[in-house]
Chains A and B, each alone.
Chain A
Amino acid sequence: DTGVSQNPRHKITKRGQNVTFRCDPISEHNRLYWYRQTLGQGPEFLTYFQNEAQLEKSRLLSDRFSAERPKGSFSTLEIQRTEQGDSAMYLCASSLLGGNYEQYFGPGTRLTVT
């Protein structure tokens, strides 16, 4: 257990529905990252925050995806109008700016869109 928690661990939804995932990072970590991982592939970077500021978004983060970290602590990732291609593991990681750059990953949220 790295200290990063994610909820829910599993989510099954129908195509077209909206879903929201939550990540609680290690408490003193000021950077928080979201990744997506499909079966047999490595994680793909989506976006990251430094405190409450969203500093970078990858081209994978379509308009249907939005992430927030309103108080610089926990973060949410929302997917609107889900598509079957959104089925994946969504991973959250956190790190300490000025630390050793190591990113600590949570267990992930497995999304299945039917």
Chain B
Amino acid sequence: GESVGLHLPTLSVQEGDNSIINCAYSNSASDYFIWYKQESGKGPQFIIDIRSNMDKRQGQRVTVLLNKTVKHLSLQIAATQPGDSAVYFCAENPFRSGGGADGLTFGKGTHLIIQP
């Protein structure tokens, strides 16, 4: 089965509110995690990443939290905007070959809907 999954297929939030998207993974060997955003008809777009030696990383309006104890990853988006509406995927890379990113394992995705 999949080693990365998401808890909620659809999340609806009011514009301006904060949103939290969750992800569970099962491969304890994974060393690198990424959140991607995918808009309709487009390829996934990198949002933020985090390595397993960290538990939190912040970007512009986004924060990723990693809890290795329970194998849980979350993406927090602050002050959501209409342009944040998209499908969000978490992905993991187990560094099978070392030295660089290998094939990523993606979850099913959460569709974030921003209500005006």
| Residues of chain A from 69 to 106 with CB closer than 8 A to chain B in the complex | 91, 93, 95, 97-106
Q: How far is the CA of A106 from the CA of B101 in the complex (A)?
A: 17
Q: Nearest A residue to B111 by beta-carbon distance?
A: A40
Please tell me which one of the listed residues A43, A58, A95 contacts residue B106 in the complex, with CB atoms under 8 A apart: A43
Report the interface size class on chain A: 20 to 34
Number of A-B pairs, beta carbon distance below 8 Å: 74
B107 & A45 in contact (Cβ 8 Å cutoff): no
Q: Which listed residue, B45, B96, B102, B109, touches A2 by the CB 8 Å rule? A: B45
Q: Determine how close the nearest CB of chain A comes to the CB of B36; give it in whole angstroms.
A: 8
From A4, A44, A56, A106, B102 is in contact (CB under 8 Å) with A56
Given contacts A105-B43, A106-B43, contact A97 B100 (CB under 8 A): yes
* Most B CB within 10 A of own CB, among A47, A98, A99, A102: A102
